[in-house]
Structure 1
Amino acid sequence: MKNFICPLFFLLSLNCLLYSQELTVTGVVKSQEDNAISYANVLLLNAADSTLISGTSTGEDGTFKIIKIPAGNYLIKASFIGNESAITAFKIDADKELEPILLDESDQRLDEVVVTSQKPRLERKIDRLVFNVENTAYADGDVWDLLKITPSVMVLNNRLTVQGSSAIGVLINGRKINIPYEDIVNLLSGTSAANVLSIEIINNPPSKYGAEDNALINIVMKKNIVAGYNGAIYNKYTQGILPKHTVGTDHFFKGKKTQLSVNYSFRQDRGVTYYTDITNFSQDNGTVSTWTAEQEYLKNQQQHNISLFFDYDIDKKRRLSFTTINLWQPNGSRIYDTDTDVSNPSSWSDFHTINNSEQRKLNTSYYIDYIQDLNDKGAQLSFNGHYTFFDDKNEQDLNSTFFNTDNSVFGMNDFTTDTEQKINLYSVQGDYESPLGEAGRIETGLRYAGISSRNTIIQRGFDRDQPGVAPTDSGTFDYDESIYAAYISYSGKWDHWKLKSGVRAEYAETAGTWDGGLQRNENHNFGLFPSASLQYSPSKKHDFKVYSFRKVSRPRYNSVNPFQTFQSTFSTIEGDPKLLPATRYYIAGGYTFNKMYTAELFYKKAKNGLANLIFQNNDNNLLQFISSNLDENVAYGIDFTINKSFSKFYNCYFLASFYNETSNFKNRTTNIEVNQQQFSWFIRNSNSFLFLNDQSLSADINFFYSSALISENAIFDAFGAVNLMMRKTFYNKQLSVSMGIEDIFNQGNQFNTRNYQDQNGTSLKKGENRLFVASLRYKFGNSKMRDNKKSKRVDERNRI
């Protein structure tokens, strides 16, 4: 315990020397008759371009308070049910009480309003990138489409990576989505992008969040700043080889003390993917048998998404929030149709396999938050509770027919597999934050999380007697995990410096029990996970930044299942209850010129990295997909970034990354260490255009290219894509229509090889890369109230 306290005491003592100042503005909103206006909306704007900085509502006595404001020049205005105040300019370098703001009670018509300039497309902050997405042509699509074009985010095999790591946590409004990764893709694919205000790529997560994620992607949803109701209906159609369809509706309401958002969508997803797998099985006598499998994978699933966000202001100092996010798949089917040709056959020459499976899935999550302001200086106490229930049922029927060289039937094999996974997750957390004198801000908290997972399996009909193949007839595997965590962090800024630092302590207990072998595996581990970001800005045009962190990844619940299940007659999927947690280290430093041009060096190292590795069993002609630990993974390189608005109609983002990666792991069949090394590079280029005087026509052109790279125990060949999306709005932006093409030149197919020691195989994935996308969205409701957040032109503000 002493070893834990001493670093914290040193950290606090060091940080207390630093200087930071976040200021508070207070005031009152009144009518022309000097009456206080309750629940009026107060907007704080940037003096330079009138973009929205913050907002609040007045209390019953007409007073308001806006906290955490950096020193600088601002504009402020108030509105209430169609009435507006004049815009007031002011400068703040200390806590400030403004003169009363008077509402002009004559109705403000839309022809007196102009739309001001928007926030920068990409904002670089000390620990994150903020991608403001409101004006992209992808606003009528879904959130998954947005992530594909988000700077610094890469999608490989439908898997998100940031800084080369797939240990990514996804948050919605700061709340972690605690579901398996496949279902995060499904959830975001059914969530409308029009509800998203920005996407934050947190490349050095604060200590407040768990120690497992290398990076966080926080999806910030829109909220009504002004009172009233509005809603929308939308429709998205996608045509690849097969059509896909999403329809949904959104509703927003803001009252005196409440704010409510309800979102629902229904998605019909039909897709087809083709695989060509070639495996060269080597025999003891020196001969090689080549198995060539041509597979067609058909997917058809229906999905309902519903989410609700509710905020209630108990009074000026107390707030209560409730959130629920739900995904329900009442029925889904997956069909793997595989023809496998065998060279040098001993008895049969080829076989045909049909794997027909039905799936039902439910995920429901609930979050409750309570926030208490303790004083006028910004001290705050908050509590959070969370519960998630996940239920996944699969029924599989696998039929194989074997043929002689003369195409006569040699034999048949038929078996069924029924599996179910139920997961209960729950957590409680308490946080306290406060100014630390005049030197900065401190935050500390405690958290407990419990996970209970039960997996059951029943397999019938498998009658093939082959060494090394022992399919589980039936069994139950229970996995329980408890995590106790405490953290403390400090942030401050003084002169030209900014600092965010913290340390998190986590103690985890895991236990896995399998009734099939009466086996029980237990793990207990404790770790300290420090993080720090330091930024030095000697002038407005120069920024230097360095940051580092240590993280841990614990095995996912489905990867520790000890069952051996079959995807085809000669391929198995296997978990490992003895998987070890992975630890990761990352350090980077860079320079940014004029907020547009950035160069950043980085180094990262991971031990016991979690992966799903493919091994060929030459003795049994079997492909095994096994959850495993990588011994070590090391990468270092440099990133170059350009983020520049060449005009108010054209913004360009460009990223080029060059890195060398080394991966070490043990070959499952020989137990000999394998070392793979690859120099890789990739580039991303996003171009956003606004057309017409009212900027009602927008276009996005995105280009991505990756050279050969290492992924787990395979090396992928180069691949890339060019995407085009256009969007037009009508009727004062109430109606919008989008159309586009993804992967115009169909270059997104992915080919990988596994060629080392006794392993010799390749895989080609040909998906529905080239897609035609069309979306339509219609907004309705009290748009006049929403327009109050726009600003009239004020010549005097140019003199600030």
Structure 2
Amino acid sequence: MNKNYLLFLWFFFISFIVSAQEFSVSGKIVDGVQNPISYATVVVRSLDSVLLKGTSTNEDGSFTIEKLKKGTYYISASYIGNYSSFVMINVGSNMVVDPMTIHLLEQNLDEVIVTLQKPRLERQADRLVYNIANTALTDSDVWDVLKKTPSVLISGDKIQIKGEDKIGVMINGRKINLPKEDIFNLLSGTSASNVESIEVITNPPLKYSAEGGMLINIVMRKKLSEGYNGAIYGTYKQGVFAKNTLGNDHYFKGNKTDFSINYALTKDKKTTKFTDITNFFENDIPNSIWTANQETINKQNKHLISLYFDFYLNDKNHISLYSLNTITPKEDRFISSKTRIEEEGDNSSFNTFILDNRDKLNTSYYLDWIHKLRKKGEEISFGSHFTFYDTTINQNLNTEFFNSSGEPISENNFSTDSFQKINLYNAQIDYITPIGKKAGIEAGIRYAGIESKNTIKQEGFDRNQPGINPTEDGTFNYDEDIFAAYSSFNTKWSNFKLNTGLRAEYTETIGLLNTTGIKNKKSYLELFPSFSLNYLPNKKNNLRLYYYRRINRPRYNRINPFQYFQNNNSVIEGNPDLLPATRNYLALEYVYNKTYAVEVFYRNEKNQSREQVFQDNDTNLLRYLSYNINSNISYGIDLSFNKNITSYWDTYVLFSVINKENEFLDFGSNDVIENSLWYYITRFRNSFTLLADKSLMADVNFRYYSPSFSGNNRYSSINSLDIDLRKTLWNKKASISLGVSDIFRQSNYFGSRIYADQNNSTSTRRENRLFKFSFRYKFGNEKIKSNKKSKRVKERSRL
């Protein structure tokens, strides 16, 4: 064998052994007068500030961090809100660093500068990061936190960002697999105490599905030090009815494993009141006024269970298993509606009572594998996901009719049994590689499959009533396959950063209603370009131009072609012919000193899918129909200000001015109806950290939305004022919180639809003013935390 070859193998072997070696770093943490600090947190970061390893000091202030590879790192320490300086270390053998000093707050309160404390609001290239750890919000639930998150607008159970309402919600990057109303139930029953931050992703990376629009990622905290940690928590809310949540968290970290299990039981009872007033027409002349006063009482018990397991096989391979489960074994809805009919010379009425029982199971499983390749920064990853969604609804509707004298004249009773099962599954492979020191490429392929089966049985209907066309026994099957591929390129030069790419998605759908035997087949290919250019002339100025194209496929419950009744003259109808909506978004943003921000934006959407209310003047029915809006265009400007006014006072202000225009077909006449309106939004948030030990926190939030519209519905203005207080106890191992939301009860909507032969309105009154009390007690090792990685599955937002 060639000696040079043997010599090469020998040096390769030696270099491999050396590179595979792991070393330890030891030291001591002391205060300003050289006394040791027990239980301080010590962390090691890469040169680009990525958190790698951590530990806590012993009683004598000493520490040891094991299994560090040869390289250059930063090491720092912290203790109860006080921090050391960063120290750069070159690790090539086991080493002992010089004692690191933390100047404690009590020694020199006015001179301490907390250099590592995160700002409440961070602006990154494609997202806003709202850090809520150690604020008054952490003892509330996640839904309350979203209400107070900058750029996020909450109305009822709907989420909007910059006028968009197709918002994906993720926990640690994994898409929540729930219908819209159940997302509200999940997040309102989930404690925010383990939430590190809320990420509002305004320009989602191309690796994510083109489905939907902007994203909200709820980043949970994760420990770095080995050991066990747990907590118990509870929340009590009082509106018209009481609601409460009781839960516990458990987390274990070993040498190569992370494992957590979280469980919460939520008992919820709430009421919502509606008043519908409809002026029905005959021969284009109003001939009757129908006034319906309805109250819905919803009572449910819900179990939330999440499991997370992380296993580090070696330095090159990392496997994650994750499961999110919501179980609602019993949900009861009691709906009472009284409708008065005023006609010329004659008045009558009818009362409707609905008993609705349902149960739901939603279980999701994820498997992720990341493999780091030889080149630094190069990796390949595989992700897979499966979700099973099962819901059963049993509804009994009883209506009694009265004449003008109030005497009963007839009745109509019918029942509906509905069953829906949905299977979602996908697999994705991603590849990342750097190109030189300032560029990189990312590419991937993905497959997603959806199988939905909806069965309905209805009986007892009065077939003589016009417009009533229930399906006695029907099954609707819907299958969807999505094949996707993407490639993106990022680079930086001089004062510029560029990120651009293209994603392609090919979709095939088949819908089959057994009563007709006709298959509804569709297939289409869509391209989704994305572009972002940042110009940073200096540390205080940042100019960003970005653009993306996205798609919204119809939600699965909106394509079911069945009728569901809210009372005797109000019906909800699905539409299997809904088209996917496509949207273009363009924005230019300028940020000065990370404090002042101005963004000008333009959005153009076609075939937006909405559930609209139409009055059928021939049958005297209110029909809630799912259909496509021809066009939906909006443009405007956002002005925001975010600053730490003092060391204990942080404030955020947002003012938005938006022009919105849309066109839709009137259901009765097929005439094109146009809407146009300027409206504005105002947000104020003030956060305070009080007392010398920073153990008392307060948040005051105010929001105002001027009159606006959505589809054919125009809304009144609303506003809301919320106050939250949080006090930590027992060296921050426990905390209690008090809060009041919507203090003046001004956040309920009034909606109207007045055009052509439509003249109806809806007043909605929810339990928005709530008194809240929360507690949390932590046990075990509570020293070090960091963020989990991000994955997501978009199809699930359409359940």
TM-score scaled by length of structure 2:
0.88
Deviation at 1:430, TM superposition (A): 0.5
How big is each residue's C-alpha offset from its partner over 1:94-120, in whole Å with a ceiling of 9 and x where there is no partner? xx76775427999x9999999875201
Does structure 2 retain, via aligned residues, the 8 Å contact 1:505–1:528?
Answer: yes
- Unpaired runs of at least 5, structure 2: 1-18, 28-39, 56-63, 788-799
Q: What letter corresponds to residue 573 of structure 1 in structure 2?
A: I
2:88 counterpart residue number: 90
How big is each residue's C-alpha offset from its partner over 1:504-527, in whole Å with a ceiling of 9 and x where there is no partner? 110000110000111221110101
Q: Which moved more, 1:210-219 or 1:340-349?
A: 340-349
Does structure 1 retain, via aligned residues, the 8 Å contact 2:288–2:342?
Answer: yes
Q: Does 1:29 align with 2:47?
A: no
Does structure 2 retain, via aligned residues, the 8 Å contact 1:45–1:75?
Answer: yes
1:130 counterpart residue number: 129
Deviation at 1:438, TM superposition (A): 2.6
Deviation at 1:472, TM superposition (A): 1.3
1:686 counterpart residue number: 685
Residues 557 and 704 (structure 1 numbering): CA distance in 2 closer, same or farther, change over 3 Å? same
The whole-number CA distance in structure 2 between the counterparts of 1:443 and 1:664 is 39
1:221 counterpart residue number: 220
How big is each residue's C-alpha offset from its partner over 1:272-306, in whole Å with a ceiling of 9 and x where there is no partner? 11111100001127342000011111010110001
Counterparts of 1:56-71 in structure 2 under 5 Å?
56=53, 62-64=67-69
1:16 counterpart residue number: none
2:235 counterpart residue number: 236
Residues 52 and 771 (structure 1 numbering): CA distance in 2 closer, same or farther, change over 3 Å? farther
Candidates 96, 106, 127, aligned match of 1:102: 96
SS in 1 for 2:181: helix
Q: What letter corresponds to residue 28 of structure 1 in structure 2?
A: F
Q: Does 1:54 align with 2:51?
A: yes
Residues 353 and 657 (structure 1 numbering): CA distance in 2 closer, same or farther, change over 3 Å? same
Does structure 2 retain, via aligned residues, the 8 Å contact 1:745–1:770?
Answer: yes
Q: What letter corresponds to residue 310 of structure 2 in structure 1?
A: D
1:708 counterpart residue number: 707
Q: What letter corresponds to residue 196 of structure 1 in structure 2?
A: V
Residues 303 and 292 (structure 1 numbering): CA distance in 2 closer, same or farther, change over 3 Å? same
Deviation at 1:86, TM superposition (A): 9.5
Does structure 1 retain, via aligned residues, the 8 Å contact 2:46–2:52?
Answer: no
SS in 1 for 2:193: helix
The whole-number CA distance in structure 1 between the counterparts of 2:456 and 2:548 is 40
1:411 counterpart residue number: 410
Deviation at 1:42, TM superposition (A): 6.9
2:437 counterpart residue number: 438
Residues 688 and 413 (structure 1 numbering): CA distance in 2 closer, same or farther, change over 3 Å? same
SS in 2 for 1:233: strand
Matched residue count: 739
The whole-number CA distance in structure 2 between the counterparts of 1:404 and 1:767 is 32
Does structure 1 retain, via aligned residues, the 8 Å contact 2:71–2:92?
Answer: no
SS in 2 for 1:778: strand
The whole-number CA distance in structure 1 between the counterparts of 2:432 and 2:157 is 38
The whole-number CA distance in structure 2 between the counterparts of 1:724 and 1:78 is 34
Deviation at 1:436, TM superposition (A): 1.4
2:316 counterpart residue number: 317
Deviation at 1:632, TM superposition (A): 0.3
TM-score scaled by length of structure 1:
0.88
Q: What letter corresponds to residue 601 of structure 2 in structure 1?
A: F
SS in 2 for 1:349: strand
Counterparts of 1:68-87 in structure 2 under 5 Å?
75-77=74-76
Deviation at 1:57, TM superposition (A): 6.6
1:334 counterpart residue number: 333
The whole-number CA distance in structure 1 between the counterparts of 2:483 and 2:578 is 20
How big is each residue's C-alpha offset from its partner over 1:398-431, in whole Å with a ceiling of 9 and x where there is no partner? 0000001111101001000000110000000011
2:637 counterpart residue number: 638
The whole-number CA distance in structure 1 between the counterparts of 2:393 and 2:124 is 44
Deviation at 1:556, TM superposition (A): 0.9
Deviation at 1:733, TM superposition (A): 0.5
Does structure 2 retain, via aligned residues, the 8 Å contact 1:234–1:778?
Answer: yes
The whole-number CA distance in structure 1 between the counterparts of 2:672 and 2:354 is 35
Does structure 2 retain, via aligned residues, the 8 Å contact 1:128–1:201?
Answer: yes
Q: Which moved more, 1:660-669 or 1:177-186?
A: 177-186
CA RMSD of aligned residues (A): 2.9
Counterparts of 1:326-405 in structure 2 under 5 Å?
326-344=325-343, 349-405=348-404
Deviation at 1:788, TM superposition (A): 13
Does structure 2 retain, via aligned residues, the 8 Å contact 1:122–1:132?
Answer: yes
2:195 counterpart residue number: 196
The whole-number CA distance in structure 2 between the counterparts of 1:787 and 1:392 is 37
Residues 66 and 219 (structure 1 numbering): CA distance in 2 closer, same or farther, change over 3 Å? farther
How big is each residue's C-alpha offset from its partner over 1:562-586, in whole Å with a ceiling of 9 and x where there is no partner? 1122121111111111111100011
2:43 counterpart residue number: 43
Q: What letter corresponds to residue 145 of structure 1 in structure 2?
A: D
Residues 707 and 677 (structure 1 numbering): CA distance in 2 closer, same or farther, change over 3 Å? same
How big is each residue's C-alpha offset from its partner over 1:536-584, in whole Å with a ceiling of 9 and x where there is no partner? 1111111111111011111111111111221211111111111111000
Q: What letter corresponds to residue 89 of structure 1 in structure 2?
A: V
Does structure 2 retain, via aligned residues, the 8 Å contact 1:43–1:52?
Answer: no
Does structure 2 retain, via aligned residues, the 8 Å contact 1:27–1:97?
Answer: no
Counterparts of 1:645-724 in structure 2 under 5 Å?
645-724=644-723
1:273 counterpart residue number: 272
The whole-number CA distance in structure 2 between the counterparts of 1:683 and 1:324 is 38
Q: Which moved more, 1:738-747 or 1:560-569?
A: 560-569
The whole-number CA distance in structure 1 between the counterparts of 2:358 and 2:777 is 33
Does structure 2 retain, via aligned residues, the 8 Å contact 1:348–1:410?
Answer: no
The whole-number CA distance in structure 2 between the counterparts of 1:557 and 1:229 is 41
Does structure 2 retain, via aligned residues, the 8 Å contact 1:490–1:500?
Answer: yes
Deviation at 1:167, TM superposition (A): 1.1
How big is each residue's C-alpha offset from its partner over 1:630-678, in whole Å with a ceiling of 9 and x where there is no partner? 0000011110010111112011011100011011101111111111111
Does structure 2 retain, via aligned residues, the 8 Å contact 1:172–1:221?
Answer: yes
SS in 1 for 2:285: coil
Seq. identity, %: 46
The whole-number CA distance in structure 2 between the counterparts of 1:65 and 1:643 is 41
Counterparts of 1:272-311 in structure 2 under 5 Å?
272-284=271-283, 286-311=285-310
Does structure 1 retain, via aligned residues, the 8 Å contact 2:70–2:92?
Answer: no
- Unpaired runs of at least 5, structure 1: 1-23, 33-39, 68-73, 80-84, 790-800
Q: What letter corresponds to residue 254 of structure 2 in structure 1?
A: G
SS in 2 for 1:275: strand
The whole-number CA distance in structure 2 between the counterparts of 1:474 and 1:345 is 40
The whole-number CA distance in structure 2 between the counterparts of 1:283 and 1:599 is 51
SS in 2 for 1:186: helix
SS in 1 for 2:522: strand
Deviation at 1:348, TM superposition (A): 6.2
Does structure 1 retain, via aligned residues, the 8 Å contact 2:76–2:87?
Answer: no
Deviation at 1:46, TM superposition (A): 11
The whole-number CA distance in structure 2 between the counterparts of 1:422 and 1:726 is 43
1:482 counterpart residue number: 481
Deviation at 1:157, TM superposition (A): 2.8
